[in-house]
Structure 1
Amino acid sequence: MKNSKDYAKQIDKLFRRMRQDRGKIALPNYADPLPALIDGIFLEHWTAAQTHAALKRIHEHFVDDNDLRVARQDEVLDAMGVRDASARSITTSLLMSLMAIFNRHDQLRLQFLCEQGKRQARKELDLIAGLTPFAIDYCFLHALDGHTIPLNRVMIDYLKAEGLVHPESTDEEIQGFLVRQISAAQAREFATLLHAEAMSAAAEAARKAAKPAPKRKKS
């Protein structure tokens, strides 16, 4: 990425500020990579709070992930209580990937990936239909101890808008730059903080945009 040395200083400042502003955060722990994949599918579009709320409703409605796998999209949307474009993208990816995992492995468990080398485990994730790079990266980072930084569109737009990366950089260049700047030991914390920071900023911008302009006083 262009001017990477200058932007590296900005990323370091960002990390320190996010730590100071948000304090110590709880990082997710997964015994099986499958829940990490599911969380990643949701977190690409939604905040952690929205994700947890939607998954709670889904788990209350469906018996288990296998019951969810064979459900119709409309049924999942009804269970979630949300029917916007992001919810449809989430449920499309969710149902497609669950079916792909079952068809490939005859079960809805991916614990065997934890016993493989990271490179092979990553290849297995890449073969699952319906998954986006964000969901794969999220699972690789949080469930398989891989070194990566999952980036969704909101996070990339935030980094560019705040002048934290070169504006002409590609998504791949930005991710590669961050992986080089953030150590493997700090990647989970940084990625979680950045996701919260970017999603919060986007939500605040949306609220301001939706707020009606004050009425002008009549002269």
Structure 2
Amino acid sequence: GNETNVTRVIDGLLRLGAEVIHSGIADVHATGHAQADELKTYLSIVKPEFFVPVHGEYRHLVAHAKLGILMGVAKENVLLCEDGDVIELSDEGLDHSGRIPAGYLYVDGIVGDVGQGVLRDRKVLAEEGVVVVVVTVDIGSGKVLTGPEIITRGWVYAPEAEDLLDEACDVVSAAVEKALAEGVRSPEALEKDVRRAAGRFVNERTKRRPMIVPVVMEA
């Protein structure tokens, strides 16, 4: 994850006239993680009564725990933990005391965790675009008053796809009129029909799956 920074440092040193030996030209590598002997030295200096290995995959934690025992920490005082484990320190010692929810948290500005649903929507918007279908109906008479009007971003370039958009409007209009004729009066139910008709048309004609946003307004 730090390749860009490493490359920048190498380039800077070369500009200053230094000879740089790096992993791209030689079998060398300087790790930022401590080696086993270094960890043993640290444990021998600190001499902890309790030891909780952290950082790394579970296999790394197990290996680190074995080092702690090797360096004199009592086996019962070495705790292996994973994300979400709760540790309680009391007069009786150190022990597990339960779990709490834990995992990756995506922080988006001041909103905080936006959740998988929002991220999934953003992925669809980025890759497929969005199609907004607006239609106004008279619930009482069961007639379409205005629309459908289609607004699209990221699906097709509207000025160059007027025929396609007109055809899509005809398909949606037919679906709404059919639903109204069958007695459907709920805007939510009509929006489902709009989404279904528009989505099917878009996929069949363009092999794309943009986000379909139906808006049914009552007069």
> What is the TM-score when the length of structure 1 is the normalising length?
0.24
Q: Which is richer in strand? A: 2
Question: Which has the higher relative contact order, 1 or 2, with Cα contacts under 8 A spaced 6 or more apart?
Answer: 1
> What is the TM-score when the length of structure 2 is the normalising length?
0.24
